Chains A and B, each alone.
Chain A
Amino acid sequence: MAVPEKVALRPIDFEHDVIQKRPVSGQAGLRSPEAQAPTPGILAADDNVLFSTLTTLVNWARSRSPWPLGYGLACCAIEMMATAASHHDLSRFGAEVFRSSPRQADVMIVAGTVTHKMAPRLRRLYEQMPEPKWVIAMGNCASSGGEFWDSYATLQGVDTVVPVDVYVAGCPPRPEALTEGVLRLREKIAKGG
Chain B
Amino acid sequence: MADTDTEIRQIQEGANLVLPIAETDEGIQTEELILNMGPQHPSTHGVLRLVLKLSGEKVVECLPVMGYLHRGLEKIFEWRTYTQGIRYADQSDYVSNMLNEHCYAGAMEAIGGLEVPRRAEYIRVIVDELSRCTAHLVWLGSYGLDIGATTPMLYCFRDREEILDLFEELCGSRMNFNYFRPGGVLYDLPPGWLAKLERFLDRYEEHIESDYVALLEGNEIFLERTVGVGEIPAHLAVAYGLSGPIARGSGVAVDLRTTRPYSVYPELEEMRPVVMSEGDAFARYKVRVGEMRLAIRLVRECIADLPGGPVRARLGHVWKCPKGEAYYTVEGAKGEVGVYMISDGGPNPFRAKLRGPSFVNLQILPWLLKGRLVSDAVAIMGSLDFVLGEVDR
Contact = CB atoms under 8 A, between A and B. Distances in A.
B142 interface: yes
A48 B50 CA distance: 53
A79 B40 contact: no
Given A11-B2, A87-B157, A75 B71 contact: no
B124 interface: no
A172 B87 CA distance: 13
Interface string B159-180: 0110010000000001110000
Interface stretch (B41-49, B218-226, B266-274, B320-328): B41-49
B3 A79 contact: no
B76 interface: yes
23 contacts: A9-B8, A12-B3, A73-B69, A74-B69, A74-B389, A75-B91, A78-B94, A78-B95, A79-B174, A85-B158, A100-B41, A112-B69, A113-B71, A117-B70, A121-B1, A124-B1, A147-B91, A148-B71, A150-B76, A151-B75, A152-B75, A153-B70, A154-B71
B71 A11 contact: no
Contact of A85 (B46, B67, B154, B388): B154
Interface residues of A, number: 40
Contact of A9 (B12, B75, B79): B12
Contacts of A86: 154-155, 157-158
A118 interface: yes
Nearest to B42: A100
A72 to B, nearest CB: 6
3 nearest CB pairs, A to B: A85-B157, A75-B94, A86-B154
B161 A82 contact: yes
Given A152-B72, A172-B176, A74 B161 contact: no
Interface string A45-77: 000000000000000000000000011111101
Contacts of B69: 73-74, 112-113, 115, 118
Given A9-B11, A86-B155, A121-B40, A72 B46 contact: yes
Interface of A: 9, 11-12, 70-75, 77-79, 81-82, 85-88, 98, 100, 102, 112-113, 115, 117-118, 120-121, 124-125, 147-148, 150-154, 171-172, 174
A12 B389 CA distance: 24
Nearest to B65: A117
B88 interface: yes
A129 to B, nearest CB: 12
Contacts of B76: 148, 150-151
Contacts of A100: 41-42
B153 interface: yes
A51 B68 CA distance: 46
Of A12, A72, A124, most buried by chain B (CB within 10 Å of CB) is: A72
Contacts of B2: 9, 11-12
Given A86-B154, A86-B155, A87-B161, A121 B79 contact: no
Interface in B123-156: 138, 141-142, 153-155
Contact of A172 (B42, B88, B175): B175
A88 B72 CA distance: 32
A75 B176 contact: yes
Given A12-B3, A74-B94, A121 B157 contact: no
Contact of A81 (B71, B88, B142): B142
